[in-house]
Chains A and B, each alone.
Chain A
Amino acid sequence: MYNTRKMKFWKSFNLILLIIGSIFMIAPLFWMVSISLKSLEEIYRGGFNFIPEDIQFSNYAAVFEIVPFFTYFVNTSMITIFVVLGNVFVNAFIAYGFAKIQFKGREVLFIVVLSTMMLPGFITLIPQYVIFANLGLVNTYYPLVLPAFLGSAFNIFLLRQFFKGVPNSMIEAAKMEGANHFYIFFKIALPMVKPALFTVAIFSFNGVWNDFLGPLLYLNDESLYTLQLGLQVFKEQSSTQWHYLMAGSLMVLFPVIVLFFLFQKYFISGSNILGQTEEK
């Protein structure tokens, strides 16, 4: 009896704590929605009213009039599709090699790959830009997409740990049946590391969808701009059109939220995945 009561108390306590925490977490989002539906006049007048005096749904339509939002949405989606595909399959392929194929210098090469993680992105920014400029690729999507097809140390490391979990006995058995590494990779290993692939896909989606610096540097033609660049139109040196900025930001955020609800179990497991390094 006592135990049940105690459990009930702690359950309610946890629930209340979680509700309070959630309110704190979600309040900025509600504030965004609220501002996106206010007139700029009401925003400047101030006050802490969550419900706008005069709801302005027209702010959302205005965003489409001021910036070519649909074009930017298509552009961002294009880049995202390619980057996610590249990140998932190329990194998986490289990681499989590091995990399951024996070759001379493998460990040294792996350390070299890992060491690239130590280089902050800002250091390689200008040299990378100069390389792409010399290749004549500035003002195209190639500088944004190609790196995803050349491997990323973090993703390789993550996927390698998972491929190590694929039993060697299965690979040996497949080899005995005459399967080559391509067949083993696609038919046996890849399906077994699905959760890790989802993790890589979700994180790279998040990264590329919200990327600002890459498109800023490499794209000059406004018809190629992405959503993150488009949103900046509402910010100028002395004033910000908060209502449009919030309406635009919410629309940019929408696919990320949808993605979260569709794949939330992978999102959550993704943060635990790095701990799972057991070898079989």
Chain B
Amino acid sequence: MRKVFFLIFLSTIILGACGGFSLGDGDTSSGGTGDPEDGTAQEETIVLDFWTFWGSEQRRPVIDQIIEDFNTSQDEIEVRHTYTPWGDIWTKNLAAIAAGDPPDVIINDIMTVKLRAEEGQIEPITEFVQDEVSGRFYDQMMDAAIHEDEIYALPFNTDTQILFYNKDLFEEVGLDPEQPPETWEELDEYAAQLDIEEEGTYERIGFYPLIGAGTDIWVLNALGENYLQDDGEVLIDTEPVHETFNWILDSQDKYGQNRITSVNSQFENAQQDPFMSGDVPMMVQNANYYVQLRDFAEDLNFGVAPLPERVPGNGNTSWGGGFVAEVPMGASNPEASYQFIEYLTSHEAQLYWAEQNFDLVAHEEAGVSAAGSGEFDDSGQEVYTQMIENMDETLLTPQPVIAPDYAGTVNPIFESIVSGNTDVESGLEQAQSELEQLVEDNR
């Protein structure tokens, strides 16, 4: 028994030396006042806790530098950065809001701003936002941050889907490497030329729509708008969407489901990148994919282009996402939080972020400056310019309050069509009616 007590005693001593059991410094958040160095009360400094999911060796130094620049630019606010794991950061945020102990500023998903606003999880910041500030961003991003005429967040960064193609392989089969395909028909023609078929198996897949992209992107591309409109109208059982699925299935029939599954599963499990290896010479990807090509495929001679259009004149509609900076409900000093958010989304901070991370920033002018930045080589400038041009036709699809999880209803049906379990006609009819029902139920 003495041994047990000794063990407990010993552990207590060790733990006593360990910060995790000291009570006073438990809560470092909440926008309270205090001295940034020693934690003692000092009226002039407001301490803000800023949560992000940027902890990697690439992103962390960049965000830390932006924070340091803000902290040294004035002496009223001291921002402290807390890294919290990607995805789980928002679970933690919800718990902290419920307990009335949230961070002062958080980076959150742009797609769900309206839902959080509806649920009362974000502080509105309309009163602080000047027109000059709200005019900085791409319109579709700012729209996603507004709910019922109140501004709830400021956009930070975004992305867009573009076509990557292998110029060397284009040349090898006699295609002009400076003329990427512009329509779905051209995509099919180019793919046929790039295919390598041996004994009934495609060793090289010229192009398959669902390697790198999902069905929803092609549906948006075909429609030129979201299949769920703001007013609740559903556009799934329509001619362009029928054509999309028939096109995907034709391509799937050609290459064979097994071959595609094998390429996709290797890609998803990071066992092999089919574009880098030359197995798939044309692939739609998030434009940030350029960074991987730059770092891990130095010799690859590639080009970028907008998503080809369904038919000439239909438009090169693409899809994007992104993140916002917002003030969680219950943060004790929203005005101070906003001051920091405004700095985060300023030209200076956004340009620095764009140059260091090759990330498409929400600040339009900062993005344009980045495209011509000396930090990027010619290829980088070309891709960044394409990203900016693409934003004119990039749709954001924020989750609407009338049907928050609409994709969860529709995507399984889309998958069922692609896997051949449901035919196109009845699948799209079912998706249309289920989504209409969901909207009706939530009205």
Task: Say how far B431's CB is from chain A's closest CB, in angstroms.
Answer: 28
User: Given the complex, which residues of B lie within 8 Å of A178, measured CB to CB?
Assistant: none
State whether A229 touches B272 (Cβ < 8 A).
Answer: no
Q: Mark A189-216, 1 if CB is under 8 A from B, else 0.
A: 0000000000000000000000011001
Q: A139-B28, A232-B55 are in contact. Are A129 and B91 (CB under 8 A)?
A: no
Q: A46-B272, A232-B86, A236-B53 are in contact. Are A140 and B11 (CB under 8 A)?
A: no
Judge if A137 is at the interface, Cβ distance under 8 Å: yes
Q: Which residue of A lies closest to B8 (CB)?
A: A85
State whether B22 touches A129 (Cβ < 8 A).
Answer: no
- Most A-side CB within 10 Å, residue of B49, B56, B273: B56
State whether B20 touches A140 (Cβ < 8 A).
Answer: yes
Interface residues in B1-34 by Cβ distance below 8 A to A read: 1, 4, 7-8, 11, 14-15, 18-23, 25-29
State whether B85 touches A232 (Cβ < 8 A).
Answer: yes
State whether A142 touches B270 (Cβ < 8 A).
Answer: no
Task: Say how far B357's CB is from chain A's closest CB, in angstroms.
Answer: 10
Judge if B277 is at the interface, Cβ distance under 8 Å: yes
Interface residues in B103-142 by Cβ distance below 8 A to A read: 103
State whether A140 touches B23 (Cβ < 8 A).
Answer: yes
The number of residues on chain A lying at the interface, defined by a beta carbon within 8 Å of a beta carbon of chain B, is 55
Q: Which residue of B lies closest to A139 (CB)?
A: B26
State whether A238 touches B286 (Cβ < 8 A).
Answer: yes
Judge if B333 is at the interface, Cβ distance under 8 Å: no
Judge if A223 is at the interface, Cβ distance under 8 Å: yes
A222 in complex: contacting residue of B83, B95, B96, CB < 8 Å = B83
User: Given the complex, which residues of B lie within 8 Å of A66, measured CB to CB?
Assistant: 56-57
User: Given the complex, which residues of A lie within 8 Å of B297, measured CB to CB?
Assistant: 44
Interface residues in B261-287 by Cβ distance below 8 A to A read: 266, 270-273, 276-277, 286
A223 in complex: contacting residue of B15, B19, B84, CB < 8 Å = B19
Judge if A237 is at the interface, Cβ distance under 8 Å: yes
Cα A43 to Cα B270 with chains together (Å): 7
Judge if B192 is at the interface, Cβ distance under 8 Å: no
User: Given the complex, which residues of B lie within 8 Å of A73, measured CB to CB?
Assistant: none
B18 in complex: contacting residue of A47, A75, A138, CB < 8 Å = A75
State whether A85 touches B11 (Cβ < 8 A).
Answer: yes
State whether B54 touches A236 (Cβ < 8 A).
Answer: yes
B21 in complex: contacting residue of A140, A217, A221, A223, CB < 8 Å = A140
Q: Which residue of A lies closest to B270 (CB)?
A: A242
Interface residues in A118-159 by Cβ distance below 8 A to B read: 125-126, 129-130, 133-134, 136-142
Judge if A40 is at the interface, Cβ distance under 8 Å: yes
Task: Say how far A76's CB is from chain B's closest CB, in angstroms.
Answer: 11
Cα A217 to Cα B88 with chains together (Å): 9
Cα A278 to Cα B276 with chains together (Å): 63
User: Given the complex, which residues of B lie within 8 Å of A48, measured CB to CB?
Assistant: 271
B292 in complex: contacting residue of A130, A216, A239, CB < 8 Å = A239
A45 in complex: contacting residue of B53, B99, B273, B288, CB < 8 Å = B273
Judge if A241 is at the interface, Cβ distance under 8 Å: yes
State whether A224 touches B20 (Cβ < 8 A).
Answer: yes
State whether B59 touches A236 (Cβ < 8 A).
Answer: yes
State whether A240 touches B270 (Cβ < 8 A).
Answer: yes
B20 in complex: contacting residue of A78, A129, A234, A241, CB < 8 Å = A78
Q: A41-B296, A81-B11, A130-B98 are in contact. Are A47 and B83 (CB under 8 A)?
A: no
Task: Say how far B331's CB is from chain A's closest CB, in angstroms.
Answer: 14
Cα A240 to Cα B21 with chains together (Å): 33
Q: Which residue of B lies closest to A245 (CB)?
A: B270
Judge if A116 is at the interface, Cβ distance under 8 Å: no
User: Given the complex, which residues of A lie within 8 Å of B99, measured CB to CB?
Assistant: 126, 129-130, 133-134, 138
State whether A237 touches B86 (Cβ < 8 A).
Answer: yes
| A contacts with B: majority SS | helix
Task: Say how far B409's CB is from chain A's closest CB, in angstroms.
Answer: 23
Judge if B92 is at the interface, Cβ distance under 8 Å: yes
- Most B-side CB within 10 Å, residue of A44, A82, A138: A44
User: Given the complex, which residues of A lie within 8 Å of B21, measured CB to CB?
Assistant: 140-142
Cα A140 to Cα B273 with chains together (Å): 43
Judge if A106 is at the interface, Cβ distance under 8 Å: no
Judge if A263 is at the interface, Cβ distance under 8 Å: no
Q: Which residue of A lies closest to B279 (CB)?
A: A46
User: Given the complex, which residues of A lie within 8 Å of B271, measured CB to CB?
Assistant: 43, 46, 48
- Most A-side CB within 10 Å, residue of B20, B28, B159: B20
State whether B7 touches A138 (Cβ < 8 A).
Answer: no
Q: Mark A74-105, 1 if CB is under 8 A from B, else 0.
A: 11001101100100010000000000000000
State whether A216 touches B84 (Cβ < 8 A).
Answer: yes
Q: Which residue of A lies closest to B321 (CB)?
A: A237
User: Given the complex, which residues of A lie within 8 Å of B55, measured CB to CB?
Assistant: 67, 232-233, 236
Task: Say how far A197's CB is from chain B's closest CB, in angstroms.
Answer: 11
State whether A217 touches B83 (Cβ < 8 A).
Answer: no
B95 in complex: contacting residue of A129, A236, A241, CB < 8 Å = A129
User: Given the complex, which residues of B lie within 8 Å of A235, measured CB to CB?
Assistant: 85-86
Interface residues in B284-302 by Cβ distance below 8 A to A read: 286, 288, 291-292, 295-297
User: Given the complex, which residues of A lie within 8 Å of B412, measured CB to CB?
Assistant: none
Judge if A220 is at the interface, Cβ distance under 8 Å: yes
Judge if B100 is at the interface, Cβ distance under 8 Å: yes
Judge if A186 is at the interface, Cβ distance under 8 Å: yes
Cα A223 to Cα B29 with chains together (Å): 15
Judge if B185 is at the interface, Cβ distance under 8 Å: no
Q: Which residue of B lies closest to A241 (CB)?
A: B56
Q: Identify 12 residue pairs between A and B in the complex whose beta-carbon atoms are under 8 Å apart, listed by A's number.
A: A41-B296, A44-B276, A45-B276, A46-B271, A125-B95, A133-B100, A213-B91, A217-B92, A219-B20, A220-B27, A235-B86, A239-B291
Task: Given contact pairs A138-B99, A232-B86, enumerate 8 new A-B contacts (beta carbons under 8 Å).
Answer: A44-B276, A45-B277, A82-B11, A125-B95, A137-B23, A137-B26, A138-B27, A239-B291
